[in-house]
Amino acid sequence: MVKYWSIRYFLIISLCLAVMMITSLYIMRTTANQKQTRGLEAMARDVASMAADNGGILHKSPTLHNTLETLVKRHGLSGRPILFILDNNGRIKQQEPSNPPEGTTQFDAVLPQIMTGSAHVLKFKPADNDVPYMIAVHPILQKSTVTGYLLYFEKKQTKLKELFVNSPRFILLSVFFLIGWGTVYTMTRRLISPIREVAEAAKQVVAGSYDIHLNKAYKEEEIYELTHSFNEMANRLSHLDALRSQLLTGITKELKSPVVSIHRKIQAVKNREVSSEEKYEYLEASLEESRRLQSMVEHLLEFNRYITSEVSIARENCDLDTLVADIIDRWSTNQHDDKLKVVQHTANDRKDWKTWTDPMRIEQILVNLFNNAKDAVITEGTISVLLQHESNEIRIHVRDTGRGISQEEYVDVFEPFYRGRDNKPHAHGLGIGLPFSRLIARSLGGDLVLTDGTPGKTTFTVILSSYPMAL
């Protein structure tokens, strides 16, 4: 069984061309046989008419052979004329040429088929000769009475030889077949080449090598799309592999930092290196670090749970304007410094901000955005929250006055565990806040997008479907 579909494709096309060739040859052969039969019938008719006009035999003259040759060409026959004139008893009265080819006189066995009183064509193969003949039979009539029969012989393969060797149609057909086969072969090779290239590149990807750039100079749109998509996939995998390395480094650092801190503080207390008052401060700090460590582990487990299954949503009718204000108040209360000021603005394009959504999930998204804004602001700054209605959507714009996000990072900020090029030295966290928030927003039927990364006005927009009532 052929393993590759491209080879099967080539074989099928070649088989189709072969079938077409054989069919064409069969049609040409059938047409040639019919043409030969009609020519023999016409030749026998004309010669029999000449014999009838001359008393039942042909007039022996120096011009007889030339006359017969002229009739041969007129009726599209080939070879030298071979004919016999028989009487009603089947005896030969006249023959042309005087020394006919071997075996042509051995037609006694087919005399019953010859002397039927009508014109017809039959096949004849001499016993001692492998060459088959076509015999055109025509009765010689004198005063409406059959006085004999004219037999005209022509080799059957003579016409076929002309067809297969000298026929322009056969030569043209052969050329077309070879051109067609060559075209199919070339196109198949051209199709197989990029597919094999992609297959080899895929093996490299499986082996962990993503530095692949396939040739894009293909004119065929389908092949170009295949190679272009594969290159994009390889680049994406290479990028994700780099993020994976960052993830391992980041998670190791984030998990190791509280562990090391807890270890040092407990060791100091154990070794009585601190006073009684400092001992309780060290223990409290160790508890805080352990809570932070536990929080990171829980976030990892929660994120893993959500990316492997659908986020559960509990919708209820709530006023978004009031909900956002409450979320801001709770988040601000839990902050231990006053470096950030959160300001809410509500657009006048809608009077009733009641919608059907999950308030707990909305709070998770906004708290993540507020925490990121806090990490982005180095000293003091402001977080502006704008509630806006557009068409059938409600948009919550969260803008901060922090460092901003470069355009090169736009495609990466929502990647899991991506912590930003500038954030690595400054901020804590595992880099799952934004992808987790986007996952929640999409589960609510909306989205989370970065609308502006300019320093001083970095803006993330939460897009929610506007459901005025329960579905």
d(CA 126, CA 4): 53
Query: What confidence score (pLDDT) does residue 305 get?
Result: 65
Find the radius of gyration of the CA atoms of the chain: 49
Which residues are paired to 381 by β-bridges?
Answer: 340
Cα–Cα distances (Å) from 391 to 21, 438, 447, in that order, read 66, 21, 15
In a domain, 423, yes or no: yes
> Which of 386, 318, 390 is CA-nearest to residue 355?
318
Please give the tally of structural domains in the chain.
3
Give the domain CATH number at 123.
Answer: 3.30.450.20
Q: Residue 443 and residue 256: Cα distance in Å, rounded?
A: 33
Whole-model pTM: value is: 0.47
The per-residue pLDDT for 3 is 53
Question: What single letter denotes the amino acid at residue 226?
Answer: L
* Same domain, yes or no: 410 and 376: yes
- For residue 363, the enclosing domain spans 316-465
Instruction: Answer yes or no: is 178 within a domain.
Output: no
User: How much is the pLDDT for 387?
Assistant: 93
Domain boundary pick from 309, 333, 350: 309
* C-alpha dihedral (438, 442, 447, 448), degrees to nearest 10: -10
- The encoded tokens of residue 75 equal 């009726």
Pair 310, 443: CB distance under 8 Å:
yes
* pLDDT at position 396: 94
Q: What local confidence, expressed as pLDDT, does residue 325 receive? A: 93
Domain shared by 33 and 165, yes or no = yes
Q: How many CB atoms lie within 10 A of CB 46?
A: 18
User: CA 440 to CA 367: how far, in whole Å?
Assistant: 13
Decide if 389 is inside a domain: yes
Domain assignment present for residue 208? The answer is no
The answer as to whether 75 is a domain residue is yes
Give the whole-angstrom CA distance, residue 467 versus residue 313. 14
Bond preceding residue 97 cis, omega within 30 of 0: yes
Q: For the domain that residue 287 is a member of, what is the CATH number?
A: 1.10.287.130
How far apart CA 429 and CA 250 sit, in angstroms, is 8
Cβ-in-10-Å burial (0-12, 13-18, 19+) of 197 comes to: middle
Rounded CA-CA distance 196/215 in Å is 12
Can you tell me the distance from the alpha carbon of 423 to that of 421, in angstroms, rounded to the nearest whole number? 6
Angle subtended at Cα 85 by Cα 79 and Cα 91, rounded to the nearest 5 degrees: 125
Q: Are residues 305 and 389 in the same domain?
A: no
Rounded distance, CA 89 to CA 149, Å?
A: 10
In a domain, 418, yes or no: yes
Tell me: do 351 and 375 sit in the same domain.
yes
pLDDT at 159: 46
Quick check: is 188 in a domain?
no
What is the domain-level CATH number for residue 419?
3.30.565.10
What pLDDT is stored for residue 395 in this prediction? 93
Q: Which of 284, 309, 334 is the last residue of a domain?
A: 309
Residues in contact with 124: Cβ distance below 8 Å, sequence separation at least 6, in sequence order:
107, 110, 132, 133, 134, 135, 153
| pLDDT tens digit at each of 471 positions of the chain | 445 555 666 677 777 777 877 887 778 778 878 888 899 999 999 999 999 988 889 888 888 888 999 999 999 888 889 999 999 888 999 998 888 888 888 888 889 999 998 999 998 888 776 678 889 999 999 888 899 999 999 987 544 455 555 566 667 667 777 777 777 777 777 777 777 777 788 888 777 777 777 766 666 677 777 777 878 888 877 777 776 676 666 667 667 777 887 888 888 888 888 787 788 788 888 888 787 778 777 766 766 666 666 667 888 898 999 999 999 998 888 787 777 889 999 988 778 888 889 999 899 899 889 988 888 887 788 999 999 988 888 999 999 998 888 887 877 777 766 766 554 444 455 667 788 888 889 888 899 999 998 888 899 999 998 765 444
C-alpha–C-alpha distance, residues 458 and 450, integer Å = 8
Cβ atoms 38, 45 nearer than 8 A: no
Verify that 320 and 304 share a domain, yes or no: no
- C-beta atoms surrounding 257 within 10 Å: 14
CA atoms of 457 and 462, how far apart (whole Å): 16
End position of a domain, from candidates 309, 334, 361: 309
For 8, how many CA atoms within 13 A lie in the half-sphere containing its CB? 5
